[in-house]
Amino acid sequence: MKYRILLLSLLITVSLWPQISPKREFRAVWIASVNNIDWPSSKNLTPAQQRAEYISILDKHVLNGMNCVVVQIRPTCDAFYPSSIEPWSEWLTGTQGTAPNPYYDPLQFMIDETHKRGLEFHAWFNPYRAVMNINTSSVHSTHVSKTHPEWVKTYGTYKWLDPGLLQVRNYSISVIVDVIKRYDIDGVHFDDYFYPYPITGVDFPDDSTFIRYPRGFTNKADWRRDNINLFMETLYDTIRTMRKNVKFGISPFGIWRNQSTDPLGSATSGFQAYDQQFADSRKWVQMGWLDYIVPQVYWNIGYAPAKYDVLVPWWANNSFNRHLYIGMAAYKIGTSTQDTAWFNPSEMPKQMRLNRSIPQVKGEIFFSSKSITNNLLHFQDSLRTYIYKYPAIIPAMNWLDSVPPEQPASVSASQDTAKITINWNTPQPASDGDLPYYYLIYKFPGQDSVDFENNKYIYKKLAKDSLRFTDPRPAGNQNEVIYALSSFDRLHNEAVPVILRIDLTGAERYSETKSNIRLYENYPNPFIDRTTIKYSLPNEAHVRIEIVSILGEVLSVPVDDLKSAGEYVVELGVHTTKGGILAPGVYFYRLTAGNKVLIRKMTVLR
């Protein structure tokens, strides 16, 4: 019976699932340390047990198709790493200020193991929460609430850094700067805690701060929002001056404002973070103070006060060309009594299908890790079997870096009766100085299947120091196999892939980059109405140039003719063969000359 229920839930999921998943998609989980939610699962684990547990979590999420983990390293003005600013976290060793014994650096360990598996590591900080519970928390003598009690306010059972103080702003930024300087993180991340969630009838006790430092404000709510805005702007500018590859992202409460309060708000009737937490998250994105935003849309489709299917489109329309990922309530699957929809195994897949239907939505983060690995309503099974079956590349952020690395150099392929081997060298730095950070191997069963936007053909991700790849020779009567080798920089810009066609009927092999056929980048690119494509031939060949959509559909064929050796320039417009117009977006132009295939990417604007 249990097996039949599992099979039924998976069948329901796949029946609702589209067959194509995007090549570029951010897929992450939050790994919460506060209260030992995810890792470490207990304050009493030994360092060896902590390390084993973290590795187990990572390995599960690699199988789940994730490409990033967001790990909480500063939950309450404490540290999961050796720090001269803040004490060791009580969630790590049981007593705040006590180092692991035997000693190790948990943050360095986590970053190393995460990168070893090809995932990004985003360091999750809580900027203002100082003490989780004034009655039960372990608080060391070096904790900021002890060394600077004048910076801290008691609110309910919390102690909270006062956001109205310049000293607090500088202090929290110094903690983050220290981590960026010392550790190779990929991102800085905040959750939804700015001013604390309000206690009914109790105002946050910052009247004295407002009176002393009003900065020209007469309305305390506006002043509070400005306190957070100043922090966001200053921190973003600071990160940008330090390392271009460190992203800054925030996961605010899912409702900015209700439309009944503000015409710019969403058609919802819930808690308003703008008014009650003083978090103007829409402004942070609009002003470009974030690289990505992850609204916590923790309600189901159709939930009347805050419909998932209303909020996600609203955030898409208010993402202002920054990356939008959706915070997903995995913890509610099969457990929440808020709505019966959470007991339907198709609810979360339906939410993800909606995400993929909206171009501005670039991926998801799930709260939290254990809700996935506990396989609630077999959702982990669905990720592995269908939803995240094929790997995805993290979307590039062209405002941080739009220059791709150079192609792998001196690419060659060889084969014997057992295996196929591809060798290459590290190329020269790109114009921005970047070398490849990783390589990707694509594998296609034949020429007709070459499609670099279809992630089912992503075969292997290789570290930057990998300069050889070996693959078992295909069995059976297959005549050829096509590989492509591509290089990526740290921010996931991709070079033009190098295509290798392996003739399995003999020992022939070649690399497209070693032939004298050249296909150059179109100019201008991006373009609005017209662009030019340049190519050269070493010998006479039949040349076909096709304009192809990201789904592999041939939209026009500007060249299909026998050409003698030489250099050619083709002028290209935006009209398709069927009389249509190329919509704004990304396309490919594919040159086939004899048995050689070269592909490049172009972008149409309006």
Residue-wise pLDDT tens digits, 379-410: 999 999 999 999 999 999 999 999 999 999 98
Closest among 278, 334, 327, 266 to 299, alpha carbons compared: 327
Calpha distance 333→368 (Å, rounded): 11
**507-522, pLDDT tens digit by residue?**
433 344 434 688 888 8
Instruction: Return the DSSP state at 293.
Output: E
**pTM of the shown model:** 0.84
**The predicted structure's pLDDT at residue 506:** 56
What stretches of 318-395 show up as alpha helix (H) in DSSP?
Answer: 347-356, 369-373, 379-382
Q: Could you report the per-residue pLDDT of 455-484, keeping only the tens digit for each?
A: 999 999 999 999 999 999 988 888 889 999
CB 390 within 8 A of CB 419: no
Q: Mean of the pLDDT values across residues 341-348?
A: 98
Spell out the domains of the chain, with CATH numbers in brackets.
Answer: 2-387 (3.20.20.80), 401-514 (2.60.40.10), 516-606 (2.60.40.1930)
- The tens digit of pLDDT for each residue in 426-445 reads 999 999 999 999 999 999 98
Give me the chain's average pLDDT, please: 92
Reported confidence tier of residue 11, pLDDT bands at 50, 70, 90: very low
Phi, psi angles (nearest 5°) of residue 511:
-120, 135
pLDDT tens, residue by residue, 135-150: 999 999 999 999 999 9
Helix (H, G, I), strand (E, B) or coil at 278: coil
Q: CA 247 to CA 363: how far, in whole Å?
A: 15
Return the beta strands (E) in 318-431 as ranges: 323-328, 361-366, 409-415, 419-425
pLDDT tens-digit readout, 17-62: 444 799 999 999 999 999 999 999 999 999 999 999 999 999 999 9
